[in-house]
Amino acid sequence: MSDHEHNDSHAGLYFAVFIALCCFTGLSVAADMMKAANPNVIKVIVLAIATAKAMCVMLYFMHLKFERAWKYMLLAPTFILAIGMMLGLIPDIGRHYYTVDTPQVHEYALDEQQKASGGQAAEHH
């Protein structure tokens, strides 16, 4: 069997994955057009479909399905660093480390009050 024949044998599989991706896209559009009582339900459905599409692409087009178990050894440090980065950013982002009460907010409110009352806007320095 030549290399050319061997490569063509996967064409049916790749075409099936392509059709699956098209169906997932159609489902995603249909879910997005649904009117639900809770919009978070639609978000979860669309995210689940996007995850399924990403898994199809990773498994078949990136050939991860056909690799040995060593791929998990390569992904372990990346996973650990990603979790560590999220945990490391919690004090800055997740816990409102910085105050949201800034002088610019008060200046803007005063300017808007003066404009509404017909007065001159305060000059910014």
* Number of compact structural domains in the chain: 2
Query: For the whole model, what pTM was predicted?
Result: 0.52
Kindly state whether residues 58 and 35 are assigned to the same domain.
yes
Kindly state whether residues 76 and 123 are assigned to the same domain.
yes
Kindly state whether residues 90 and 43 are assigned to the same domain.
no
Q: Each residue of 8-45: b (16+ CB within 10 Å) or e?
A: eeeeeeeeebeeebeebeebbeebeeeeeeeeeeeeeb
Kindly state whether residues 63 and 28 are assigned to the same domain.
yes
CA distance 36 to 34: 6
What average pLDDT does the segment 10-32 reach? 92
What average pLDDT does the segment 53-65 reach? 88
Confidence of residue 7 (pLDDT cuts 50, 70, 90): low
For all residues of the chain together, what is the average pLDDT?
A: 82
Kindly state whether residues 63 and 74 are assigned to the same domain.
no
The pLDDT of residue 125 is 52
Share of the chain above pLDDT 90, in %: 30
Kindly state whether residues 74 and 122 are assigned to the same domain.
yes
